[in-house]
Amino acid sequence: MEAQRLNTGMLSLTEDECLRLLATDDYGRIGLVVDGRPEIFPVNYALDHDRSVIFRTADGTKLASTANHPVVFEVDFVARATRTGWSVVVHGLAHHIQTVIGGPRPLSPWLSDRPYTVRIQTQSVTGRVIGPRPSQLDGE
Amino acid sequence: MEAQRLNTGMLSLTEDECLRLLATDDYGRIGLVVDGRPEIFPVNYALDHDRSVIFRTADGTKLASTANHPVVFEVDFVARATRTGWSVVVHGLAHHIQTVIGGPRPLSPWLSDRPYTVRIQTQSVTGRVIGPRPSQLDGE
């Protein structure tokens, strides 16, 4: 039943490594508390110059629940064949904003009907790796 | 700034389609409320015969926060190049269990130090698609 490789542990990423991984991706998931219950919504995002996560949303649950509330944001990559991968988790406060400062990659929503912009003001960022170090962190 | 394709909408998946997608994958993310704040943890999982999601955990935040509490569980796939993909979200109650009934794929944790088993008793499952229908739903 356990013929596949069993990894014996995880390595932690530094905050700088986490931010570099966040800057190279554009798709993650926001976790909210709505009426006391947890919710997860996939979003596409950009990392702003001030380390905040920016995404667009339609008017609805996501919008109401992110107004000045603590949220969590997660990005990951897994290679199922080798059972390895990495994940980065941001904790922060969400705010509605009018203007995006702009970061290494501009925010470019996948869906057209997302008029509202939300910023997650990063309070902490942590990350973990199972298996090899992410290739995005090589070089420089 | 918006030169890439902008999708104009999402399609919903049926419950049966969501369960078929859940059965073909083994990696997702659990969303919890811990001390009133949202948390997301990546987990590898299996779908049990009774539509519940099974995963292993070490003793810690995940374990304490899943004891008879509402949780959310999310699985997705995205093709960043075409900005398309699908996501499935399960809402349910988490319980600690001793024995796994067994499903189409056995639970096979990626990490060795995960002695506790948690079952999410599915209350609802919803899913959305941006772009083409997931290939896992073809045929049969």
pLDDT in tens, B7-66: 667 899 999 999 999 999 999 999 999 888 999 999 999 998 879 999 988 766 777 777
Considering only the beta carbons, identify the residue of B8, B33, B113 that sits closest to A33: B33
Task: Identify any residues that bridge with A40 across adjacent strands, giving them in sequence order.
Answer: A31
- What is the number of helices (H) and of strands (E) in chain B? 2, 7
Flag whether residue B37 sits within 8 Å of chain A, measured between CB atoms: yes
Mind giving me the DSSP string for B50-76?
A: TS-EEEEE-SSHHHHHTTT-EEEEEEE
Extract the tokens encoding A47.
């990392």
* pLDDT at residue B18, as a whole number: 96
| Confidence check: pLDDT of B1 > 60 | no
Say if CB B31 and CB B39 are below 8 A apart. Answer: yes
Residue A93: is it exposed, middle or buried by C-beta count within 10 angstroms (0-12/13-18/19+)?
Answer: middle
**Which residues of chain A make contact with B6, given a CB cutoff of 8 A?**
109-112
> What integer pLDDT is reported at residue B3 of this predicted model?
40
Residue of A32, A36, A110 lying closest to B7 (CB–CB): A110
User: With contacts defined as CB-CB under 8 Å, which chain B residues touch A129?
Assistant: none
Q: Please provide residue A24's backbone torsions phi and psi, each rounded to the nearest 5 degrees.
A: -95, -5
Complex ipTM over 0.90 = no
Task: Please report the number of interchain residue pairs, chain A to chain B, with beta-carbon separation below 8 angstroms.
Answer: 111
DSSP secondary structure string, A15-81? HHHHHHHHHH--EEEEEEEETTEEEEEEEEEEE-TTS-EEEEE-SSHHHHHTTT-EEEEEEEEEETT
Task: Look at B74 and A38 and tell me if their CB atoms are within 8 Å.
Answer: no
Is any Cβ of chain A less than 8 angstroms from the Cβ of B24?
no
Residue B5: Cβ within 10 Å count: 12
Look at A26 and B91 and tell me if their CB atoms are within 8 Å: no
CB–CB contact A8 B36 (8 Å): no
The length of chain B in residues reads: 140
Question: Which residue stretches of chain A have pLDDT < 70?
Answer: 1-8, 59-60, 63, 99-106, 139-140
Mention every residue, 6+ apart, whose C-beta is less than 8 A from residue A110. A44, B6, B7, B83, B130
